[in-house]
């Protein structure tokens, strides 16, 4: 989540290029982590839906850059199985809206958002990420 300046103009990157940058961010994740990541799909959507916003309790003036939906590794039990993959959604519109007008800034924001959502897959809360200085 982040605060948005309502008067800011978003920087434009095509959806295809945005998805390429998301893929690059995923490729930067160390192999040791990929060996532990389990049953996750990463998608790109233009904007969060009302359901997404309500799910996280997003307040006015804030926007959702990404969302993890699933069962974190830390709470899975031996009964976890035959379930749909966890889902990480990266939201293109909000990321472009909060990023300054260049691709490097967009790339950095995408990378931070991807890592943030993967941290949730590992059971790390927003509060703990703040404590760790992750954002």
Stretch 68-94: mean pLDDT: 85
Instruction: State the residue for tokens 């990023």.
Output: 99
pLDDT for the residue 33: 87
Sheet with strand 66-69: strands edge to edge? 40-45, 86-91, 66-69
Name, in order, each residue with C-beta under 8 angstroms of 123's C-beta and a sequence gap of 6 or more.
Answer: 72, 73, 74, 75
Domains of the chain, with CATH numbers? Answer: 19-131 (3.30.2010.20)
What are the pLDDT digits (tens) for 1-15?
555 455 556 678 999
What are the pLDDT digits (tens) for 47-75? 999 999 888 888 887 889 999 998 887 87
Q: What gap in Å lies between CA 109 and CA 104, rounded to an integer?
A: 9
Q: Is residue 135's pLDDT more than 90?
A: no
* Residue 101: predicted pLDDT: 79
| pLDDT confidence of residue 68 | 92
Place of tokens 């993959």: 85
The reported pTM is 0.85
3-state secondary structure of 45: strand
pLDDT at 22 over 60: yes
């Amino acid at each position: 989540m982040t605060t948005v300046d309502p008067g800011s103009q978003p920087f434009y990157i095509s959806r295809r290029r945005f998805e390429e940058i998301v893929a690059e961010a995923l490729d930067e994740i160390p192999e040791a982590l990929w060996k532990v990541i389990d049953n996750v799909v990463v998608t790109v959507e233009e904007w969060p839906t009302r359901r997404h916003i309500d799910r996280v309790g997003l307040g006015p003036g804030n926007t959702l850059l990404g969302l993890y939906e699933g069962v974190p590794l830390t709470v899975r039990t031996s009964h976890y199985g035959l379930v749909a993959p966890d889902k990480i959604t990266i939201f293109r519109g909000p990321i472009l809206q909060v990023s300054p007008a260049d691709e490097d800034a967009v790339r950095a924001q995408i990378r931070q958002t991807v890592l943030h959502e993967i941290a949730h897959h590992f059971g790390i809360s927003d509060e703990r990420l703040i404590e760790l200085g992750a954002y």
